Chain A
Amino acid sequence: MTTMLLRRLVQAVIVLFIVTVIVFLIMHLIPGDPAQIMLGSTATQEQIDALRHQMGLDKPLVVQYFLWLGNVLHGNLGTSIFYNQPVTQLLAVRLPITLQLGLYSLVVSLILGIPAGIIAAVKRGTFIDSIVIFLSNAGVAIPVFWLAILGVYVFSLKLGWLPVQGWVSPFENFGEGVRYLVMPVLVLATLPLSSFARQTRSSMLEVIRQDYIRTARAKGLKENVVILRHALRNALIPVITLLGISLAGIIGGAVLVEQVFNIPGMGRLLVQAILGKDYILVQGSVLIIGAIVVLINLATDIAYTYVDPRIKG
């Protein structure tokens, strides 16, 4: 088991390394000169060359990469071109907000999605099942940002229950913070919630027809014991696999949700940086996101070994 974890860890490090290469390549192998972009179209060739030299852009690409990687390993993600602030400082303020959004959404989608899937599977073919199928099918098809706008229209503009946009940290003002959180979190949870419900339902249906469920019934166990004690744990194994992918999806969705609700998180920052070609900021942010996803996947793998004893050893 330790060997397996060690192997996973090494794999995660390799993946992370490749992430840095990808991030670096996207920003550097592509047409357009950052120095030119930063200085605008009126700059002279000398000015551009000077800046290129200052930024190290005149060095070979491989050298540039390792210089950057060396800095990254020392915790230095560079200085944002647009904000003229260290990327780490910018992220330190904004990352927690995005992480909060993501975490709350993940929790909400698990709490609602898994039971919905179980109920649909157990009541297969009934009205409740149809409702769950319908909603989860709709949930994976709705554009997140559109749902956010719809939410704003109904709950903020028409009903006036919730604020239109903005952010108040729940740690500073809990009541107000929650009011600002409700809609972004629910909107962001829609997609993962639907996929959890779908996956739970289908793996539950798969598990229910296994021989060991028949054994459990043949013992005379109550149906809910059969479902909760025997079927659920087996059915959750594939759901865990979904966790890592869903997290990547949630962070992606946060980019859009922060845009609609005007939340000062990393997602908004990243969109501005990408569209404004602030490549140092983009490199830093995407790298951090990649690292988070890789770590979560690692955690998922570890969780796996606890849920499924067959993997141990």
Chain B
Amino acid sequence: MEMQTTLEEPVSTAVARPRRGRKFIQVFLDRKAILVGSLILLVMVVLAVFAPYIAPYSPYQQDLDHTLAPPSWQHLLGTDLFGRDELSRIIFGTRASLMVGVVSVAIAGGVGIALGLMAGYLGGIIDSLIMRIMDALMAIPPIILALSIGSALGGGLKDVMISLGIALIPIYARLMRGQVLSVREADYVIAGELSGSSNLRNMLVHVLPNCVSPLIVLITLNLGVAILAEAALSFLGLGMAPPGAAWGSMINDGYPYMRTNPLLSFAPGVAVMLVVVAFNLVGDALRDALDPKLRGSV
């Protein structure tokens, strides 16, 4: 049967293992998936940064003589209701997606990690309070929570970032708390304490660095989640104001012309999927590389 070896015997003879860094890179690169994922992300970042130089047209330039045009050499993916070039709008849409992803995850990560750290380290009533609030936030589906907050704030791109950021906080708080709880009991943290280290030093030198790996993985995977959620919100009408290009709203705008111009809806959807898959591929590979225990399990 196939299974990961748990026999201590052959493993414990491995005396001279390669250095940590090399091992990490080796496992990381061993997976072809990672190459594909990183490549997609690289392309996306380049598209977002250099959109004005890469896109054949301006995303706002209307051509009312050529509305709803089918794909052609002039317009590789055709044009929309206002005769705007679909491909150019998708390329510009990369900006909104990546920006929402990065900013909202930064908010969620920053706040969530701090809360989790507090809950795990201080314990007691503060822990209970923080975690019950997190439970309550998790009880409301993230999309609905983000939609409510985002809409109440006004509904612009900035509001979407904030609302998504809030909706994702509990995941980080929970993970971080669990990490702190398990790491602070570790023998090496106790050893630090017994050496006479202060609590603060112990926290900074021993606890925090050892909590980092799963956080990195979560952040990577969550970038995909946030981008997916942004698309959903903009599909529902929240986010970038109308002439701006966002993939979700493009899918929604194209929906009525499904029969004649299916690409208007499909193409931006494929873009969303590509980015999300790319983040997932990288995230899974990171998990495998950072945590040898999980190697090969997902």
Contacts and interface: CB of A to CB of B under 8 A. Distances in A.
A289 B269 contact: no
A83 B236 CA distance: 20
B173 interface: no
A38 interface: no
Most A Cβ at <10 Å: residue of B3, B265, B294? B3
A31 B277 CA distance: 37
Contacts of B137: 22
A249 interface: yes
B264 to A, nearest CB: 10
B228 interface: yes
Contacts of A16: 136, 139
A150 interface: yes
A19 B273 contact: no
B149 A26 contact: yes
Contacts of A116: none
Chain A contact residues (Cβ within 8 angstroms of B): what range?
A: 35 or more
Contact of B232 (A11, A26, A32, A143): A143
B198 to A, nearest CB: 35
A271 B236 contact: yes
Nearest to A123: B2
Contacts of B152: 26-27, 30, 32, 277
User: What does DSSP make chain A's interface, helix, strand, loop or mixed?
Assistant: helix
Interface stretch (B21-29, B108-116, B254-262): B254-262
Among A16, A138, A286: residue with most chain B CB under 10 A: A286
Given A27-B152, A275-B237, A145 B232 contact: yes
B140 A289 contact: yes
Interface in B118-157: 132-133, 135-145, 147-149, 151-155
A202 B287 CA distance: 13
A290 B228 contact: no
Interface stretch (A72-80, A88-96, A203-211): A203-211
A19 B224 CA distance: 27
A40 interface: no
Contact of A294 (B139, B144, B228): B139
Interface stretch (A176-184, A251-259, A303-311): A251-259
B276 interface: yes
Nearest to B296: A205
Contacts of B266: 146, 149-150, 153
Interface string A188-210: 00000000001001100110111
Contact of B297 (A141, A205, A245, A256): A205
A224 to B, nearest CB: 12
A83 to B, nearest CB: 18
Contact of B277 (A138, A211, A251): A138
A143 B298 contact: no
A296 to B, nearest CB: 9
Given A152-B258, A248-B139, A249-B141, A282 B237 contact: no
Interface string B230-242: 0110011110000
B6 interface: yes
Given A143-B272, A223-B1, A153 B262 contact: yes
A149 B251 contact: yes
Interface in A267-285: 270-271, 274-275, 277, 282
Contacts of B5: 209
A270 B155 CA distance: 16
Contacts of B255: 149, 260
Given A206-B297, A251-B144, A256-B232, 7 more contacts: A19-B140, A26-B149, A205-B3, A205-B4, A208-B3, A270-B144, A275-B151
25 contacts: A11-B132, A14-B132, A15-B139, A16-B139, A18-B132, A22-B136, A27-B148, A125-B2, A141-B224, A142-B273, A145-B248, A145-B251, A149-B255, A153-B262, A201-B298, A202-B297, A255-B141, A255-B147, A271-B147, A271-B236, A277-B152, A286-B144, A290-B140, A293-B141, A297-B139
Interface of B: 1-6, 132-133, 135-145, 147-149, 151-155, 224, 228, 231-232, 235-238, 248, 251-252, 255, 258-259, 262, 265-266, 269, 272-273, 276-277, 280-281, 294, 296-298
A-B interface, 10 closest residue pairs, ranked by CB to CB distance from nearest: A252-B141, A146-B269, A18-B136, A252-B143, A141-B276, A30-B152, A209-B3, A290-B139, A293-B139, A141-B277
